[in-house]
Amino acid sequence: MSSSTVLLNSGPAGTLIAYTFIGTLAYSMIVALGEMVTYIFMNNTPTGYVSHFLNPSLAFAVGWTYHLSWAVTFAIELAASGLIIGYCYKNVETGYYYR
């Protein structure tokens, strides 16, 4: 939703480099998680691997962080859907947040 700010600040080349770098990091993390899943299968990911390889206390913190990140993601998706509906239908009130 806010890629225009990144494009304005860093230009097209900087934006491409930044998105390529972050995409490579995300891909590496997914590949590493896939390797762990094929080596030791657990039903309670992501906390199961943290508890198995590191510490149960850290797994508790990771579990809450995972839960909160999805709760925030849900709120952001609702806000984005309100923006999209506002662009498509001008006479529909999508909320006072966007005023």
Residue ranges covered by each domain of the chain: 1-41, 43-99
Other Cβ atoms within 10 Å of 94 Cβ, number = 16
| Peptide bond connecting 12 to the previous residue in cis, omega within 30 degrees of 0 | no
Burial annotation 21-30 (CB, 10 A radius, 16+ → b, else e): eeeeeeeeee
Give the separation between CA 53 and CA 72, rounded to whole angstroms: 27
Residue 85: band (very low, low, confident or very high) from pLDDT cuts 50, 70, 90: confident
Q: What is the pLDDT of residues 18-43, one digit of tens each?
A: 899 999 999 999 999 889 888 888 87
Q: Of how many residues is the chain composed?
A: 99
Q: Tell me which of 9-18, 29-38, 73-82, 84-93 is least confident.
A: 84-93
The mean of the pLDDT values for the chain is 84
What does the pLDDT read at residue 2?
65
